[in-house]
């Protein structure tokens, strides 16, 4: 499949949105709203639930299930308050020793006057800072689009997986086309050049594995369940400090060969 | 101040520099803000501030380090680290070559150790003439090593940020540097060590969304553009004209994201004072 076809597949609104994953994988999910500072951002879903027998913190960038829902959720592009909501819940996970499961599906963090006034950069920076210090495991999966810093804010994790047709990119192909090629029409070329497929990510060592989607994504749900389960079991014998150091080591090696 | 600013004489054209005919004529600079013309010696004496409107000219990373550090104190680290081309991105090799020629630097950040008013510190300064200070694998690696060295030697870090964000030509590996550097900053912070960031024009994108905003003390140069999305992108996305001064340092101070705006000639003294206020281990400070 060409890179651009994958971009379209990753954005296809027939794909299950993050809420569907939560429904399939988490029992007794209790959604908790708000960032306790400014408002509630529907693009970021946060809450508690059980993954198997374990209580976990769940964070998800949610694009929405139909048009009104997508509009309400700003198509999964979170405002700073979305990232401050996830920050709060990560701190709660640390306090109560719960693993964090993250579902990522966003074209990128919200871009606009309000987002800038309320410190979009600072909000993402604080998430990254917090995540690099967590003593609980953080497992992330990119289920559709993994766009830029807005996606990384839920993917500075201990382990990251991607669905077969998901994409992960420093910048949208449209953005890259206009910045690099100075021609917004060159999206196909930009998609190719950016190397944003799951296989590319595996080759760069950016993700741990690729999850097959199958016909109706039921394969993806079960593959993801197994991946999460195996990873959490692996963390059982580790101390908080080891979990944290392992995460740092995971990112520490990235790019070192290319400098 | 003049001596220090000539720390390593950069053999390159600076912002606002007019074309000079061959010969020994003194280079003349025109202020991009008020069009006031000044000769190089006078401008250097004022640390590249316009005498009429106070505009802070864009300066090179080496000039900046020369202005801020004690003379002869700088020891560069990782000078040989330079980005390769991990994605084999079309045109990137050529772009890197141009950036190296234009800036006289191997990469978009200079790192090392030195002292400010006698206080030792680890320092970094980003270079706008090198692909707008963008962060790829080499910039991420240099900064990570700097924070690791500072942690190892119990040194505070003083950093001058100038960056358009993650370097698109290195794709996902650029994005990963945001997490990697954040991890190094976090480890340094957890040891009770100080990190001061001075945000310069412009600090945007992935740098604003990582280490620029993770400092204990965030200072900014007057007029510096600071934000996540660049103004052009916001205007295109929202089809809205942005107000005057949007995302400038003064705006960020007003919104609560910058602790203090400091003019260039006052930065050295303030950095020295702040370093003094944080001397001694955290256990000794009480």
The chain A residue lying nearest B174, using CA atoms, is A170
The model's confidence at residue B2, banded by pLDDT at 50, 70 and 90, is very low
- Dihedral sign from CA coordinates of A226, A231, A234, A237: negative
**Res B6: pLDDT:** 44
CA dihedral for A73, A74, A76, A81, sign (positive or negative): negative
- pLDDT at position B285 is 53
Q: Number of Cβ pairs closer than 8 Å across A and B?
A: 190
Chain B residues with CB inside 8 Å of A120's CB?
A: 209, 227-229
> What is the predicted pLDDT for the residue at A181?
87
Percent of chain B with pLDDT over 70: 92
In chain A, domain spans: 3-248
Q: How far apart are the first and last CA of chain A?
A: 30
> What does the alpha-carbon distance between residue A204 and residue A15 come to, in Å, rounded to a whole number?
26
What is the average pLDDT score of chain B? 92
* Cβ atoms within 10 Å, residue A33: 14
Residues 6+ apart with CB under 8 A from A38: A80, A81, A84, A118
Residues 124-153, chain A: which have Cβ within 8 Å of B?
A: 124-126, 128-129, 131-133, 148-149, 152
DSSP for A117-147, written as a single string: HTTHHHHHHHHHHHHTT-SS-EEEEEEEEEE
Cα A206 to Cα A196: distance, rounded to the nearest angstrom: 11
* Helix A240-252 and helix B171-190, axial crossing angle in degrees, nearest 10: 140
pLDDT of residue B236: 87
Q: How far apart are the first and last CA of chain B?
A: 36
Min Cα distance A56 → chain B (Å) is 23
- Gap from A65 CA to chain B (nearest CA, Å): 23
Kindly report the backbone phi and psi dihedral angles of residue B69, in degrees, each rounded to the nearest multiple of 5, phi listed first: -90, 155
Separation in Å, CA A167 to CA A10, A57, A253: 6, 24, 22
Min Cα distance A149 → chain B (Å) is: 7
Cβ of B256 within 8 Å of Cβ of A201? The answer is: no
Q: Which residue of B has its CA nearest to A154?
A: B179
Kind plus residue range of the DSSP H or E element containing A107 = none
Report d(CA A79, CA A7) in Å as an integer: 23
Domain B59-280 architecture: Alpha-Beta Complex (3.90)
By C-alpha distance, the chain A residue nearest B148 is A252
Instruction: For residue B181, give the chain A residue with the closest CA.
Output: A252
What residues of A are in contact with residue B177 (Cβ under 8 Å)? 254-255
Q: Predicted confidence band at B219 (pLDDT cuts at 50, 70, 90)?
A: very high
Low-confidence ranges of chain A (pLDDT < 70): none
In angstroms, the separation between the Cα of residue A218 and the nearest Cα of chain B is 28
Helix (H) or strand (E) holding A24: helix A18-25
Stretch B47-76: mean pLDDT: 97
Whether B166 and B205 have beta carbons less than 8 Å apart is answered as yes
For residue B15, the model assigns a pLDDT of: 85
User: How far is residue A181 from each of residues A171, A188, B92, B128, measured CA to CA in Å?
Assistant: 13, 11, 12, 20
Q: pLDDT digits over A23-40, tens only? A: 999 999 999 999 999 999
- Per-residue pLDDT for B1 more than 60? no
Tokens for A156, please give them.
Answer: 């500075």
Query: Is A116's CB within 8 Å of B183's CB?
Result: no
Q: Which two tokens stand for residue A100?
A: 């964090």
**Rounded to whole angstroms, how far apart are CA atoms A29 and B212?**
36
Give the whole-angstrom CA distance, residue B56 versus residue B33.
9
- pLDDT number for residue A238: 97
Q: Which of A106, A121, A256 to mutate to test the interface with B (most CBs of B within 10 A)?
A: A121
**Strand (E) or helix (H) holding A96:** helix A80-96
Reported ipTM exceeds the 0.95 cut: yes
Q: How confident is the model at residue B14 (pLDDT cuts 50, 70, 90)?
A: confident
Ramachandran sector of residue A76 (left: φ over 0; alpha: ψ -120 to 50; beta: rest) = left
> pLDDT digits over B96-118, tens only?
999 999 999 999 999 999 999 99
Say how many residues make up chain B.
286
* DSSP-assigned letters across all residues of chain B: -HHHHTSS---S--TTBPP--SSSPPPEEE-TTT--EEEHHHHHHTTSB-TTT--B----HHHHHHHHSPTT--EEE-TT-----TT--TTHHHHHHHHHHHHSSSSSEEEEEEEETTEEEEEEEE-TTTGGG-B-HHHHHHHHHHHHHHHHTT--EEEEEEE-SB-GGGHHHHHHHHHHHHHHHHHHHHTT--EEEEEEEEEEHHHHTTGGG--SEEEE-TT-BEESS-HHHHHHHH--PPPTTTTBHHHHHHHTS-SEE--HHHHHHHHHHHHHHT-S-HHHH-
How far, in Å, CA of A239 to CA of A251, rounded? 19
Distances (CA, A) of A27 to A22, A53, A96, B76, B128: 8, 9, 19, 55, 51
Residue B5: predicted pLDDT:
46
- Find out if CATH 3.90.226.10 is the number for domain A3-248: yes
Instruction: Provide φ and ψ at B110, rounded to 5°.
Output: -110, 130
Task: Give the per-residue pLDDT at B283.
Answer: 58
């Amino acid at each position: 499949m060409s890179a651009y076809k994958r971009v379209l597949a990753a954005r296809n609104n027939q794909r299950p949105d993050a809420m569907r994953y939560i429904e399939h994988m988490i029992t007794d999910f209790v959604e908790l709203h708000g960032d306790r500072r400014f408002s509630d951002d529907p693009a970021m879903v946060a809450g508690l639930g059980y993954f198997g027998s374990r209580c976990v913190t769940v964070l998800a960038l949610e694009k929405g299930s139909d048009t009104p829902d997508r509009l309400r959720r700003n198509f999964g592009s979170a405002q700073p308050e979305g990232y401050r909501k996830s920050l709060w819940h990560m701190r709660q996970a640390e306090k109560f020793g719960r693993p964090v499961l993250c579902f990522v599906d966003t074209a990128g963090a919200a871009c606009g006057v309000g987002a800038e006034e309320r410190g979009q950069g600072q909000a993402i920076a604080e998430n990254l800072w917090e995540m690099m210090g967590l003593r609980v495991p953080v497992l992330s999966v990119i289920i559709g689009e993994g766009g830029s810093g807005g996606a990384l804010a839920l993917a500075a994790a201990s382990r990251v997986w991607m669905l077969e047709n998901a994409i992960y990119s420093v910048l949208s192909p449209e953005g890259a086309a206009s910045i690099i090629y100075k021609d917004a029409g060159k999206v196909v070329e930009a998609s190719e050049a950016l190397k944003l497929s799951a296989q590319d990510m595996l080759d760069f060592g950016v993700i741990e594995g690729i999850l097959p989607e199958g016909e109706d994504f039921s394969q993806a749900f079960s593959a993801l369940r197994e991946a999460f389960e195996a990873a959490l079991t692996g963390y059982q014998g580790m101390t908080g400090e080891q979990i944290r150091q392992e995460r740092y080591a995971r990112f520490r090696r990235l790019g070192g060969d290319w400098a | 101040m003049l001596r220090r600013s000539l720390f390593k004489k950069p053999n390159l054209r600076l912002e606002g520099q007019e074309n000079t005919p061959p010969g020994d004529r003194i280079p003349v600079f025109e202020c991009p803000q008020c069009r006031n013309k000044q000769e190089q010696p006078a401008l250097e004496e004022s640390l590249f501030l316009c005498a009429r409107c106070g505009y802070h000219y864009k300066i090179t990373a080496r000039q900046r380090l020369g202005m801020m550090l004690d003379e002869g104190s700088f020891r560069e680290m990782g000078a040989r680290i330079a980005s390769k081309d991990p994605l084999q991105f079309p045109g990137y090799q050529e772009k890197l070559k141009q950036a190296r020629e234009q800036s006289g630097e191997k990469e978009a950040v200079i790192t090392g150790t030195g002292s400010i008013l006698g206080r030792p510190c680890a320092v970094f300064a980003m270079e706008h003439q090198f692909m707008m200070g963008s962060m790829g694998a080499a910039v991420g690696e240099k900064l990570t090593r700097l924070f690791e060295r500072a942690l190892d030697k119990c040194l505070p870090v003083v950093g001058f940020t100038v960056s358009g964000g993650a370097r698109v030509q290195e794709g996902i590996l650029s994005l990963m540097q945001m997490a990697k550097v954040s991890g190094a900053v976090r480890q340094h912070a957890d040891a009770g060590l100080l990190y001061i960031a001075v945000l310069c024009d412009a600090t945007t994108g992935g740098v604003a969304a990582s280490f620029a905003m993770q400092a204990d003390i965030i200072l900014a140069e007057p007029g510096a553009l600071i934000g996540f999305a660049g103004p052009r992108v916001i205007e295109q996305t929202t089809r809205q004209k942005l107000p005057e001064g949007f995302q400038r340092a003064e705006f960020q101070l007003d919104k609560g994201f910058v602790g203090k705006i400091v003019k260039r000639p006052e930065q050295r003294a303030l950095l020295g004072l702040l370093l003094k206020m944080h001397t001694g281990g955290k256990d000794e400070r009480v």
